[in-house]
A and B are shown apart, each in its own frame.
Chain A
Amino acid sequence: MSRETARVAVVGAGPAGLAAARAAAAAGAGVLLIDSEPAPGGQYLRRDALADAAGTARRDRATALPAGTEHLPDTSVWAVEPAPGGGRRLHLRTGPADAPGRRGRTVDAAALVLATGAHDRALPFPGWDLPGVFTAGAAQALAKEQRIAVGRRVLLSGTGPFLLPVARSLIGAGARVAAVLEAGEPVTGWLRDPAGLAAGTGKLGELAGHLALLARHRVPYRPRTAVVAAHGDGAVRAATTVRLDPDWNPVPGTERTVEADAVCVGFGFTPRTELAVAAGCAMAGGFAEVGAAQATSVPGVFAAGELTGIGGADLAAAEGEVAGAAAARLLGFAARPPLRALRRVRRGRRFAAALAAAHPVRPGWQGWLRDDTLVCRCEEVGRAELVEAARARQAVGTRSLKLATRVGLGPCQGRICARNAAELVGDPALADGFARRPIAAPIRLGELAEDPRTAAP
Chain B
Amino acid sequence: MGEVLKIRVDGEEVAAEPGQTVAGVLLGMGRRSWRTTRGEGRPRGVFCGIGVCFDCLVVVNGVPDVRACRRRVADGDDVRAQHGAELPS
Do B52 and A96 touch (CB < 8 A)? no
Q: Which of A137, A234, A379, A442 contacts B50 (CB 8 A)?
A: A137
> Does B27 have its Cβ within 8 Å of any Cβ on chain A?
yes
Candidates B27, B52, B57; contact of A142 at CB < 8 Å: B27
Tell me which residues across on chain A come within 8 A of B57, comparing CB atoms.
411
Contact call B43/A96, Cβ cutoff below 8 A:
no
CB within 8 A of B44: which of A96, A131, A148? A131
Q: Is A27 an interface residue (CB 8 A)?
A: no
Given A131-B43, A132-B32, A96 contacting B74 (CB threshold 8 A): yes
Which residue of A is nearest B63, CB measured?
A100
Residue of A nearest to B62 (CB): A100
Which of A134, A142, A379: most chain B Cβ within 10 A?
Answer: A142
Contact of A131 among B45, B50, B54, B67 (CB under 8 A): B45
When A377-B47, A379-B39, A411-B54 are in contact, do A99 and B27 touch as well, CB less than 8 Å? no
Contact of B54 among A36, A120, A130, A412 (CB under 8 A): A412
Q: Is A410 on the interface with B (CB-CB < 8 A)?
A: yes
Q: Which residue of chain A has the shortest Cβ distance to B88 in the bound complex? A: A100
Chain B CB within 10 A, most for which of A140, A145, A148, A411: A148
Chain B binding surface, main DSSP class: loop
Asked if A133 and B66 make an inter-chain contact with CB atoms under 8 angstroms apart, the answer reads: no
Contact with A along B47-89 (1 / 0, CB 8 A): 1111111110100100101110111101000000000000010
Interchain CB contact under 8 A, B43 and A378: no
Q: A360-415: which residues lie under 8 A (CB-CB) from chain B?
A: 377-380, 410-412, 415
Q: Known contacts A132-B32, A142-B49, A148-B24; is A378 also within 8 Å of B66 by CB?
A: no
From 118 to 135 in chain A, residues with beta carbon under 8 angstroms from any chain B beta carbon are: 119-120, 122, 129-135
| Cβ–Cβ contact A380 & B48, under 8 A | no
Pairwise interchain contact B32-A134, C-beta atoms closer than 8 A: no
Partner of B51, one of A36, A100, A129, A377: A36
Cα–Cα distance between A415 and B45 once the two chains are bound (Å): 17
CA distance A141 to B21 in the complex (A): 11
Q: List residues of chain A with CB within 8 A of the CB of B28.
A: 146, 148
- Chain B: which residue is nearest A37 at the CB level? B70
**Which B residues lie within 8 Å of A380 (CB)?**
37, 39-40, 42
Q: Do residues A137 and B49 form an inter-chain contact, with CB atoms below 8 A?
A: yes
Across the interface, which residues of B come within 8 angstroms of A412, CB to CB?
52-54
Chain A residues with Cβ below 8 Å from B46 are 134, 138, 142, 150
Whole-angstrom distance between the Cβ of A376 and the nearest chain B Cβ: 11
Alpha-carbon separation in the docked complex, A135 to B71 (Å)? 19
